[in-house]
Homo-oligomer: A and B are copies of this chain.
């Protein structure tokens, strides 16, 4: 029975045949690694994900974390299967899979780490969230915290004894972080280790894993404002600093101390992602008096007023993580509907309707194959983009030359809003198609696909909404460093175009690759002109009015590029004589690429025409006209 989480054959293709992850083993950081060690880690991940994460995915959807009154404050209860799964994950050492040996890690490349993560997310996005928030939190502290903060908070997180959160949003400040009002007043008392101690007060909203019974302590990373000399908060993002606020204070020897004054005010109840507790947290409400005083004790991370910049280390990682989550939810939905389509008999061919003959598996209907092929194109395309971006993180961190690292960084910065947003849009569409393939069954909670659809709908909202990433791409990224990020992308796409145009000149597939290369090159030229036209509008309100459409058009061009990259590899393998299951696999890649170039990329035309015309339909719309 083939896994319905992810296709291992595809993972092998992406890692070893396309992204050449084995080449990383030449670099000092990864020199102990080989394809065998990568595969062993992936085997472990697939096994634990299959055995311990997937089985309770539906149960945690139906039996959400719930708040119960504790002795002093509300507590959150979570079904025991979650802790069992997390323990297995921690026990296998996976929390620190990408970390340095000295932190107890395995020094796996980010690209491989993302594949491990993909298995867990495909199996159970809610349970996995507790882990990934912890990893993101720990990575932020590794970058910006003091050695003492690393010792006291990061090490226990990698050991799975503490879990982490990121506390940004407030009820009145979601997308607009400059408007947060949580304050951090300097405490005259010094922290135990001499670091400056603050007292935090305020409310934080949408805090995933903000309270639970899964780990001994919770390390909150909190954005708050240090007031000026007049005691007032500085308006805007400049006033924001970053703090560690542990649920329990941590003693010098690492044991847990007093309960800190951060408490659960209530849970949000989401349409999907129900297994992750999502909390409204009160800081400094007075339920607890750590060190005999009001206010949640917090420790400054990095410099004051640099909070947003420090947190953005975590945000960029989180954004690729969101794209990855969206991609694999699309992917597992695709595999579920593929299995259903092969096994569900229903109907006959339009040209052979004899009802005395047995019904055909629905795979035999062209429209069902359309829905499967679209899902394949969306989810495999999205996963390719996510792993390509992850490979860029590896390049950024370990490439041999500063130029190569800088180039990777530029590409990565440009691609981040797309890697976050494109899967969040199109893999929800894939999940919708997975439901449609199942017909009425797919719409019921007796099957799995409706949950994927609900879970996945979150991804266009959190870690920056779709609209905000449009503004990030068109308003910042394309113009940054005098267009250097855009140029990095364009140069890279052109390399693929050249490679595709000259690949296997003798082979029958080469003509088609050339056609696709031409189409991609034309789309790239077109969006370059359109970008210039948008900036020539001379009014940023007009330039940015349709930024979401720009993001979507650029996303389709980028994913077309990802498909052409894959097609070149697949065509090469077929030209080299691949046979049997392998040949079928490569044919599938080529057909999905064909689908993308025939059905999807042409959609960009209408978007680019609209953008080029500096369309003001939405800008001109007035409140009173609604």
Instruction: Give the interface of A toward B (CB within 8 A).
Output: 169, 172-176, 178-179, 205-206, 235-237, 268-272, 338, 342, 345-351, 353-356, 359, 363, 365-370, 372-373, 376, 428, 432, 435-436, 439-440, 442-446, 450, 453-454, 457-458, 460-462, 465-467, 470-471, 475, 540-541, 544-548, 584-585, 587-588, 591, 594-595, 598-599, 602-603, 605-606, 609-610, 615, 617-626
CB–CB A624/B584 < 8 A: yes
Q: Could you list 25 A-B pairs, sorted by A, with CB under 8 Å?
A: A172-B345, A174-B346, A174-B440, A176-B347, A178-B355, A206-B440, A235-B354, A235-B356, A268-B440, A268-B444, A269-B444, A271-B443, A271-B453, A350-B471, A350-B541, A351-B541, A366-B541, A366-B544, A366-B546, A373-B621, A454-B454, A588-B625, A591-B620, A594-B617, A595-B621
Q: Which residues of B contact A178 (CB under 8 A)?
A: 353, 355
Q: Is the CB of B457 within 8 A of A443?
A: yes
- State the Cβ distance, A374 to closest chain B Cβ, in Å: 9
CB <8 Å contact, B610 and A602:
yes
From B205, B541, B591, B610, contact of A617 by CB (8 A): B591
Q: Contacts A587-B625, A621-B373; is A367 near B268 (CB within 8 Å)?
A: no
Cα(A221)–Cα(B594), bound, Å: 47
B440 and A370 contacting across the interface, CB-CB below 8 Å: no
Q: How far is the CB of A572 from chain B (nearest CB, A)?
A: 17
Q: Is the CB of B271 within 8 A of A342?
A: no
Q: Given A206-B440, A465-B436, A467-B365, verify A176-B606 contact (CB < 8 Å).
A: no
Taking A367-B548, A436-B467 as given, write out 11 further A-B residue pairs in contact, using a Cβ cutoff of 8 Å, ordered by the A residue number. A169-B440, A174-B439, A270-B450, A342-B623, A365-B467, A370-B618, A373-B618, A373-B621, A376-B626, A443-B458, A588-B625
Name the residue among A237, A461, A540 with the largest chain B CB count within 10 angstroms.
A461
Q: How far is the CB of A82 from chain B (nearest CB, A)?
A: 21
Which B residues are in CB contact (< 8 Å) with A373? 617-618, 621, 626
Contact present for A544 and B174 (CB under 8 Å): no
Contact A446 B268, beta carbon cutoff 8 Å: yes
Which residue of chain B has the shortest Cβ distance to A360 in the bound complex? B176
Residue contact A444 to B270, C-beta cutoff 8 Å? yes
Q: Which residues of B contact A460 (CB under 8 A)?
A: 436
Which one of B205, B454, B603 lies within 8 Å of A606 (CB-CB)?
B603
Our pick among B462, B587, B609 for the contact of A440 (Cβ within 8 Å) is B462
In the bound complex, residues from chain B placing their C-beta under 8 Å from that of A466 are: 436
Closest B residue by C-beta to A623 = B363
**8 cross-chain pairs, A with B, having the tightest CB-CB distances, nearest first:** A236-B355, A588-B625, A235-B355, A367-B467, A370-B618, A271-B450, A176-B347, A584-B624
CA distance A482 to B169 in the complex (A): 62
- Tell me, in angstroms, the Cα distance from A444 to B205 when the chains sit together: 13
List, in ascending order, chain B residues with CB within 8 A of A342's CB: 623
Interface centre among A351, A428, A617 (most CB of B within 10 A): A617
Which listed residue (B206, B237, B355, B428) contacts A237, Cβ 8 A?
B355
Residue pair B439, A457 in contact (C-beta under 8 Å): no
Q: Is the CB of A350 within 8 A of B475?
A: yes
Select A445's contact among B270, B457, B623, beta carbons within 8 Å: B270
Complexed CA–CA distance, A450 and B626 (Å): 22
B444 and A461 contacting across the interface, CB-CB below 8 Å: no
Contact A366 B453 (CB under 8 A): no
Residues on the B chain within 8 Å of A599, using CB: 610, 615, 617
Residues of B within 8 A of A541 (CB): 349-351, 366
Q: How far is the CA of A350 from the CA of B476 in the complex (A)?
A: 12
**A546 to B, closest residue via Cβ:** B370
* A621 pairs with B591, CB closer than 8 A: yes
Interface contact A457-B435, CB-CB below 8 Å: yes
Compute how far the CA of A410 lies from the CA of B283 in the bound complex, rounded to whole angstroms: 67
Given contacts A445-B269, A598-B617, are A346 and B610 in contact (CB under 8 A)? Answer: no
A530 CB to nearest B CB, Å? 15
Chain B residues closer than 8 Å to A353, beta-carbon distance:
178
